[in-house]
């Protein structure tokens, strides 16, 4: 009789210790057979004893929630923000998410830079209106002045950075008065002194005619540094 009671007691203990292998972990967890423990589901991370959802623009990783592809944090505690694309503000290359424009160009005395392409050899390697600046290493696609190319009928409609409305051909805002200082022209854009317009204008190199300025203008070379 005693033996039968012991067997019954052992059976009760064994049944109490059985684990449902399909539900051995807590909420938002799964069993990691390789490490024989419970881990958080894909887009959750462990905080204390609970798996909590990752924040917006985050995905789960072995070390917790991380920024999703195309996003980054400005500081370790900051939210994940979209990586910058062409012309957008940046502080280093790591913030430039578009693989076509992975370089953060920070100009002298500027607090922030902008995302662009590097290692260009001519304007053909750059997006529209960007000029290839080969005077620095690495060379890079220099962004145009604000307002360049804006359609206009008078200079009153132009920005100070591209202040002259060329109404004869382009009918758009351009950089003028570059003859005294051809470095006013960005990238590999050139300065042409055009007597017909009584103006010197910055134009893209593609508008030169066999190396000469259009409309009988005179090419004003940059001074070598």
pTM as predicted: 0.64
Report residue 13's pLDDT band, with 50, 70 and 90 as the boundaries: very low
Q: Which pLDDT belongs to residue 106?
A: 94
Q: Which pLDDT belongs to residue 4?
A: 53
Report residue 195's pLDDT band, with 50, 70 and 90 as the boundaries: very high
Q: Which pLDDT belongs to residue 59?
A: 82
Q: Which pLDDT belongs to residue 39?
A: 77
Report residue 20's pLDDT band, with 50, 70 and 90 as the boundaries: low
Range of weakest confidence among 2-11, 27-36, 156-165: 2-11
More confident call, 182 vs 22: 182
What average pLDDT does range 1-15 have in this prediction? 48
Cβ-proximal residues to 60 (8 Å cutoff; 6+ apart), any chain:
40, 41, 42, 43, 44, 45, 54, 66
Residue-wise pLDDT for 110-168, tens only, equals 889 999 999 999 999 999 899 999 999 999 999 999 999 999 999 999 999 999 999 88
Interatomic CA distance for residues 98 and 102, integer angstroms: 6
Residue-wise pLDDT for 65-97, tens only, equals 888 876 777 667 788 877 778 999 999 999 998
Q: What does pLDDT average to over the chain? A: 84
- In terms of Cα–Cα distance, which of 23, 29, 24 is closest to 43? 29
Interatomic CA distance for residues 135 and 164, integer angstroms: 26
């Amino acid at each position: 009789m005693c033996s039968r009671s012991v067997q019954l007691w052992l059976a009760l203990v064994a049944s109490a210790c059985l684990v449902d292998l399909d539900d051995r972990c807590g909420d938002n967890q799964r069993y990691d057979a390789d490490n024989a423990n419970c881990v958080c589901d894909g887009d959750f991370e462990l905080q204390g004893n609970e798996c909590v959802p990752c924040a917006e623009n985050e995905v789960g990783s072995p070390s917790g929630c991380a920024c999703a592809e195309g996003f980054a944090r400005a500081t370790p505690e900051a939210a994940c923000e979209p990586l910058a694309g062409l012309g957008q503000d940046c502080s280093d290359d790591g913030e430039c998410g578009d693989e076509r424009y992975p370089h953060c160009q920070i100009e002298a005395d500027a607090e922030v830079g902008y995302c662009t392409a590097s290692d260009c050899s001519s304007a053909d390697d750059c997006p529209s209106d960007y000029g290839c600046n080969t005077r620095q290493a690495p060379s890079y696609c220099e962004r145009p002045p604000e307002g360049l190319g804006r359609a206009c009928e008078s200079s009153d409609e132009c920005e100070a950075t591209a202040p002259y409305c060329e109404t004869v051909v382009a009918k758009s805002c351009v950089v003028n008065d570059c003859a005294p200082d051809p470095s006013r022209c960005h990238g590999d854009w050139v300065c042409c002194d055009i007597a017909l317009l009584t103006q010197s204008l910055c134009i893209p190199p593609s508008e030169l005619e066999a190396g000469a300025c259009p409309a009988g203008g005179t090419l004003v070379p940059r001074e070598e540094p």
